[in-house]
């Protein structure tokens, strides 16, 4: 059975974490130095990044009742304006779907009760282990004004799928997680 084969490889490869020390605390970002013992006995050191206390986050493909998709624009590191699907952190003890719907409402004022998780992944597995979910929200409708955090400035716009393809192909969508979300959306639309 394939699962047994993969489990055996994982067990043969897994090391043991020996220590974890905080080396930087910037509030939102913390960096830890970790020491591991590999299966062959060697000891190695890794740095681990924890953002927002290692909370999981969601990228939310949001389809409106008019079959448009919501994209948000915000200023990111190095003064880059990023074009993204709505996204945000899942709060402690919060269900992923509820957190995703909350983030869409806060960032755009759109609401829905139709959502499903399409995928989960770890964006930078070499240096962090927080999960990112891709959530698909359908039949969203405008019901509220934006309710942004004090450190957020977000513009949003509605696009059809051809326009989103343009955004991807012309590098307006720069984030790998958002590109993965785009491919999930493309697959959904091709099945119809």
Say how far apart CA 42 and CA 85 lie, in whole Å: 42
Q: Are residues 59 and 48 in the same domain?
A: no
Q: Are residues 166 and 84 in the same domain?
A: yes
What tokens appear for 62 in the block? 């949001």
Residue 173 and residue 80 share a domain: yes
What would the two tokens of residue 54 be? 């290692």
**Domain harbouring 181, CATH code:** 3.90.79.10
The greatest distance separating any two alpha carbons of the chain, rounded to the nearest whole angstrom, comes to 59
Residues 76 and 133 in one domain: yes
Q: Which residue has the tokens 């924890």?
A: 50
- Give yes or no: residues 79 and 156 share one domain: yes
Task: Assess whether pLDDT exceeds 80 at residue 70.
Answer: yes
Phi first, then psi, for residue 74 (nearest 5°) are: -150, 155
The pLDDT assigned to 11 comes to 94
What dihedral do alpha carbons 83, 181, 165, 71 form, nearest 10°?
Answer: -30
* Overall average pLDDT of the 14-43 stretch: 96
**Average pLDDT over every residue of 101-127:** 96
Q: Buried (b) or exposed (e) across 114-144, using 16+ Cβ within 10 A? A: ebeebeeeebeeeebebebbbbbbbbbeeee
Helix (H, G, I), strand (E, B) or coil at 151: coil
175: containing domain: 55-191
For residue 55, name the pLDDT band (cuts at 50, 70, 90). Answer: very high
pLDDT of residue 87: 97
Same domain, 39 and 80: no
Sign of the CA dihedral running 155, 156, 157, 160: positive
Helix (H, G, I), strand (E, B) or coil at 87: strand
Residue with tokens 């051809």, as numbered in its chain: 162
Is pLDDT at 98 greater than 70 in this prediction? yes
Same domain, 117 and 46: no
| 192 confidence band (pLDDT: 50, 70, 90) | low
Q: Are residues 178 and 101 in the same domain?
A: yes
* Mean pLDDT across 74-94: 93
Backbone dihedral angles phi then psi of residue 150, each to the nearest 5 degrees: -60, -25
Same domain, yes or no: 138 and 126: yes
Tell me what pLDDT residue 191 has.
87
Mean pLDDT of the chain, nearest integer: 95
Looking at the fold, whether 68 and 92 belong to one and the same domain comes out as yes
More confident residue, 109 or 126: 109
């Amino acid at each position: 059975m394939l699962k047994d084969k993969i489990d055996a490889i994982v067990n043969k490869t897994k090391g043991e974490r020996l220590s974890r020390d905080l080396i930087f605390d910037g509030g939102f970002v913390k960096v830890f130095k970790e020491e591991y013992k590999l299966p062959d006995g060697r000891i190695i050191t890794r740095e681990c990044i924890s953002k927002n206390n290692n909370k999981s986050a969601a990228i939310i493909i949001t389809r409106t009742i008019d079959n448009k998709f919501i994209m948000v624009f915000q200023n990111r590191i190095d003064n880059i304006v990023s074009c993204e699907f709505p996204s945000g952190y899942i709060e402690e003890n919060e269900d992923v779907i509820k957190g995703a719907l909350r983030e869409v409402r806060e960032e755009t004022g759109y609401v829905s009760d139709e959502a499903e998780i399409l995928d989960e992944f770890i964006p930078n597995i070499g240096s962090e282990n927080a999960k990112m979910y891709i959530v698909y929200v359908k039949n969203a409708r405008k019901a509220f004004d934006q309710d942004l955090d004090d450190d957020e400035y977000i513009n949003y716009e509605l696009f059809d799928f051809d326009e989103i393809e343009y955004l991807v192909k012309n590098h307006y969508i720069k984030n790998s997680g958002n590109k993965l979300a785009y491919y999930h959306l493309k697959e959904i639309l091709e099945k119809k």
